[in-house]
Amino acid sequence: MHTILVTGATSGIGRAMAITLQAAGYAVIATGRKTEALASLAAEAPEIETLALDLSDRDAVTRALSGHRIDVLINNAGMMPTPGRFDTMAQDEIDRTFDVNLTNVLFLTRLLVPGMKARGAGHVIFTGSSAAHAPGAGFAAYAASKAGIAAFATALRAELSPNGIRVTELVPGRVETGLYAGVLGAEERDAMYGDGNSLQPQDIADVVLALLKLPARADVTRVDLMPTRPVPPIKLK
């Protein structure tokens, strides 16, 4: 049985992935910073192993994962800074965006890839964003952090494919999650999602399950998943 590590599993896409993959028969380790949300996940799916981890605490992460064999790493944890103009964005918010969306991802991947190489198999999956490939006003820092993920995934694939390791970048458009909960008000979020056309977390989870069911010889390098109908733009203040 393959063991899958899902980061950012306390809500939204990560939670849907963890539940879906465990139900499909995989051993799942779900990580996140919110202990109450992890407890809720464990109550819903007791077979999932949960680990409360801050990925910026490298020593703690290394200790927690040292005894685990990870066959599939899903780098899903991420954050959305407040949408707005880059020249008025606080420097600490820029730094945090890159730490969470890129730096921590590089660290965790570097920690776990050597084990995959030693076994001659593995799969690294990144939750990227359409903002990385078609950035728009108000998302400069976020788009840049996700563009870093896109470039990293491409280079990593070139390095690891000779070792039999697959690398996939997920590129979803707007997904209805709590990503904007801390940066937009309820009225603004209702305007974003009220038409019902946004993707749902389960859509992304279903795609990941389909990817993992492919034979080892097949590597889907990038998946673009967009809402069928147009979604309203986010209005900048």
At 237 the pLDDT is 59
- Residue 193 main-chain phi, psi, to 5 deg: -110, -5
Residue 42 near residue 101 (C-beta atoms within 8 A): no
Contact (Cβ atoms closer than 8 angstroms) between residue 212 and residue 206: no
| Distance spanning both ends of the chain, measured CA to CA | 50
What does DSSP assign to residue 100?
Answer: I
Torsion of CA 10, 91, 151, 134, to 10 degrees: 90
- Nearest by Cα to 209 from 1, 5, 26: 26
Reference 51, options 126, 41, 122; nearest CA is 41
- Residues marked as catalytic: 142
CATH hierarchy code of domain 3-223: 3.40.50.720
Q: How far apart are CA 140 and CA 37, in angstroms?
A: 30
pTM comes to 0.94
The tens-digit pLDDT sequence of the chain (237 residues) is 699 999 999 999 999 999 999 999 999 999 999 999 999 999 999 999 999 999 999 999 999 999 899 999 999 999 999 999 999 999 999 999 999 999 999 999 999 999 999 999 999 999 999 999 999 899 999 999 999 999 999 999 999 999 999 999 999 999 988 777 666 777 777 777 878 888 999 999 999 999 999 999 999 999 999 999 887 777 665
- Crossing angle, helix 104-119 and helix 140-160, to 10 degrees? 10
d(CA 51, CA 174): 28
pLDDT for 236: 63
Q: For the chain, which residues make up each domain, given as ranges?
A: 3-223
